[in-house]
Structure 1
Amino acid sequence: MASSQFCNQNFRPVSVVCVGSRFSNPAVGFPSLKTWNCRDLNLKTDYLWAIRLSLVEPKSAVDVQRLVGFLYDDLPHLFDDQGIDQTAYDEAVIFRDPITKHDSLSGYLFNIALLKIVFRPQFQLHWVKQTGPNEITTRWTMIMKFMPLPWKPELVFTGTSVMGINPVNGKFCSHVDFWDSIKKSDYFSFEGLWDVFKQLRIYKTPDLETPKYQILKRTANYEVRQYSPFIVVETNGNKLSGSTGFNDVAGYIFGKNSTVEKIPMTTPVFTQALDAELSKVSIQIVLPFDKEMDSLPNPNQEAISLRKVEGGIAAVVKFSGKPTEEIVREKEKALRSNIIKDGLKPKMGCLLARYNDPGRTWSFIMRNEVLIWLEEFSLD
């Protein structure tokens, strides 16, 4: 999470107190950053800038906690028909993300409108916190579809936004985004542009029901998802990339059960390794979300069973191509290494998720995923 840094200089209150290292606007009272005597500010490049709101003397009388509550109510409308409350923002509001910048309310609103047209964003607000005397930080997930491309690729961004407050009028005067997936979030970030470009590739996801999940965080190497509970029909398999047992579990949903009930097909097909060596494997088909354990027909075969997966939080890596045993094990090893490197605690085993019929899908557009359940996870 972005945090405040404090400088050791006093100056008179000004009408706008959100300032950056790349600009100084005397017309609205911006002090030049070069004149500051900063203890904690590390200016490594001319691109680094942050909100300096704790410098104003005397202390602001702005009710920051009221604004925290306001953002909880207002930001969920960022991309819907209602929209945000424009009166809460300064006319000179400054917006920055790794590849976009605007220095006015009209530019800020134009950016929101453009995203709605081109990307159809789904915005989810996780939390809002006061992180400085005149600063609020929000954490969010945004999922977008790039509509101009025929395959409408899904782009996922997670991160924090640091919102600066003008202590003179209590309005937001800056909004700076930091993405979890890149190290350099300063405008203009070629790393950020490359992060967007990488997500434009084609993945084929069948138009079938999938387990419900929420993306909590997307790093450069994996996503962290929170899965809702789901039910699987499963039997023993032979290896992670194998198909042994698939016909048996598929037979159950096609009507080979105690009531001859046909159950709609879902995606993906899971193979789950339960041990550290990834040798003890089960193959699973997820049942539709509206099914309950007590209403499902019994399997006709002893080797087939129904089980409720309680859900939870998983780290997930996505990849295309034919998921051979060697590739899947390499993906699992790399994912586990990255999880541990980031200070998370992975559980034993993993799941391979295969979304496509290998006989009807070109390998380069196949969607495959390796999932590892996590012991615990926090967005704080």
Structure 2
Amino acid sequence: MHLSVHEDIVATNFRNEHQPINLWLRCFIAKKASCNAWARTKPTESHAHHNHQMASTQLSDQVFRPIPAVCVSLRQLSTTKPNKLPCHPRPKALKHKHLGIQTAQNYSKWAVRLSLVDQIPPKSTVDMERLVDFLYQDLVHLFDDQGIDRTAYDERVKFRDPITKHDSITGYLLNIAFLKTVFTPKFQLHWVKQSGPYEITTRWTMVMKFIPLPWKPELIFTGTSVMGINPETGKFCSHVDFWDSIRKNDYFSVEGLLDVFKQLRIYKTPDLETPKYEILKRTANYEVRKYSPFIVVEGSVDKLSGSAGFNDVTGYIFGKNSKMEKMPMTTPVFTEASDAEFSKVSIKVCLPLDKDLSSLPDPNAETISLKKMEEGIAAVTKFSGKPTEDVVREKEKLLRASLIRDGLKPKAGCMLARYNDPGRTWSFILRNEVLIWLEEFTLE
């Protein structure tokens, strides 16, 4: 078999640079040689079959040699006939002098694709457990003077929440500084866990007081942050927030913006001591709070919205006790129905949190008693206006339905919390709450 100088150069270079497809080239050259020989001899019809057999025998010696494993991968890239080598039109004449080069370039692309398919990425050395521990220690400084560790983030970090987006660590930190200045936020980290090969999820609560408005409303957000890690640098390259209070969390979320505006409404909360609680979750319809233990003085009342026993329980605080000890007033005033029918209702006033049940003086009136409210988790809905009996029962009904729909287990009965003196506060800024205790709650 004789090749032209041009064909010999192309074949030699192509064989050296593209070993994975050397077999195909040998097949192509053998087939071309047999075709050229046929063209020169111009066989008659009687000799066609004989010559075809010879060419087939000669070609079979090329095709059916042992095939390297890499060629098997190359052949499998064909989508139409995966078990055959790719077929291309036979060149008509050598006057197309660039044909060999073009063919080599085409199959160079096949070689690149082969290398991408067969390439195995090196094992990452990212210590995910260390990053989880790091976030537990670092995120608590999100809004304090120390701040988060900038070196733990890529320069091109992607931050998204429903109403904010940044694409650099500088923008990310400027957003944190803005929140510190305008909202004085309080950030609570609940848990951190690995949620993917290069992904960590955190759950948090953030309470922000909007200082520019005279009534300083509280904005409450709870949710999760999904933080992506760059496997090459081991640094955080993305931070995406999801709020519990909305469904559409993709930027830009009109629902998210409305959720912010909704929380700017006016509520008047007296500057008095109140039972301590931790906000675990805030949805569109209610908050889930974990209350710490507190002590109350308790009496009887005829209905949830009633105040018949109010003077008796507040009298204890104002000195009507065995030691004539006066105590500072607290908020709110609770009325609690212990059963589903609201047949038995009590009124409660919180005592100062530094008091201990064993050291408190006894009440003078026999109709009141001291009681310790144990730690518990309650679902709470907030509303303004006059808390009439019908309004309170309707709020309780809606809250209970929401809890059951969300798979929670509410206990029987409910509590009404009234934070303001109705005789001294406009009704449209009254802060009222309905609470329902939960059997159990897991923060997921």
TM-score (ref. length: structure 2): 0.73
2:338 is aligned with 1:274: yes
| Post-superposition offset of 1:302 | 1.2
- Separation in structure 1 between the aligned mates of residue 173 and residue 409 of structure 2, nearest angstrom: 41
Counterpart amino acid of 1:247? N
Q: Distance in 1 between matches of 2:245 and 2:176?
A: 21
In structure 1, what is the Cα distance between the partners aligned to 2:317 and 2:297? 9
The number of residue pairs the alignment matches comes to 325
Q: Which residue of 2 aligns with 1:312?
A: 376
Alignment map for 1:243-282 (pairs within 5 Å): 243-282=307-346
Match of 1:196, SS?
Answer: helix
The residue aligned with 2:129 is: 65
Residues 301-342 of structure 1 deviation map (CA, whole Å, 9 limit, x = unaligned): 111100000021000000000000000000000000001100
- Does the CA contact (< 8 Å) of 1:60 and 1:133 recur in 2? no
Give the Cα separation in 2 of the matches to 1:116 and 1:196.
17
Code of the aligned partner of 1:324: T
Residue of 247, 257, 264 corresponding to 1:193: 257
Q: Return the letter of the residue paired with 2:262.
A: K
- 1:330 to 2:394 alignment: yes
1:132 match:
196
- Which amino acid counterpart does residue 336 of structure 1 have in structure 2? R
Q: 1:108 aligns with which of 163, 172, 193?
A: 172
Q: Structure 1: which amino acid aligns with 2:253?
A: S
- Separation (CA, whole Å) in 1 of partners of 2:123 and 2:334: 57
CA distance in structure 1 between the aligned counterparts of 2:407 and 2:124, rounded to whole angstroms: 38
Letter in 1 for 2:217: P
Matching residue's letter, 1:350: C
Partner SS state of residue 187, structure 1: coil
CA shift at 1:58, angstroms? 4.2
Q: What is the CA deviation profile of residues 277-305 of structure 1, one whole-angstrom value per residue up to 9, with x for unaligned ones?
A: 12210001000100000110001111110
Matched, 1:205 2:276: no
Mapped partners of 1:260, 1:146: distance in 2: 41
Q: Paired residue for 2:358?
A: 294
Per-residue CA distance 1:251-275 (angstroms, 9 max, x = gap): 1111011110001100000000001
Q: Which residue of 2 aligns with 1:35?
A: none
In 2, Cα distance between equivalents of 1:104 and 1:251: 60
The AA in structure 1 aligned to 2:371 is R
Q: Larger deviation: 121-130 or 276-285?
A: 276-285
1:146 to partner: Cα distance: 1.0
State how far apart, in whole Å, the 1-side matches of 2:165 and 2:124 are: 27
Contact 1:79 1:123 in 2 (8 A): yes
2:422 corresponds to 1:358 = yes
Letter aligned with residue 162 of structure 2: P
Q: Highest Rg: 1 or 2?
A: 2
d(CA) in 1 for partners of 2:308 and 2:336? 13
Rate the CA distance shift 1:59–1:335 in 2: closer, same or farther, 3 A.
Answer: farther
% of aligned pairs identical?
79
How much has 1:86 moved relative to structure 2? 0.4
Shift of 1:59: 4.3
Alignment partner, residue 162 of structure 1 = 226
Structure with greater strand share of residues: 1
Q: Distance in 1 between matches of 2:278 and 2:124?
A: 38
Report the residue type matching 2:173 in the other structure.
L
CA distance in 1, matches of 2:314, 2:215: 29
Letter in 2 for 1:340: I
Q: Distance in 1 between matches of 2:413 and 2:183?
A: 36
**Deviation digits for residues 36-83 of structure 1, max 9, x if unmatched?**
xxxxxxxxxxxxxxxxxxxx9444220011000000000000000000
Aligned-partner residue type, residue 232 of structure 2:
V
Return the structure number with greater helix share.
2
Deviations 1:233-267 (A, max 9, x none): 01111000000100000111110111100011000
Matches of 2:385 and 2:124 in 1, distance apart?
57
Unaligned runs of 5+ in 2: 1-119
Counterpart-to-counterpart distance in 1, 2:127 and 2:361 = 58
TM-score normalised to the size of structure 1? 0.85
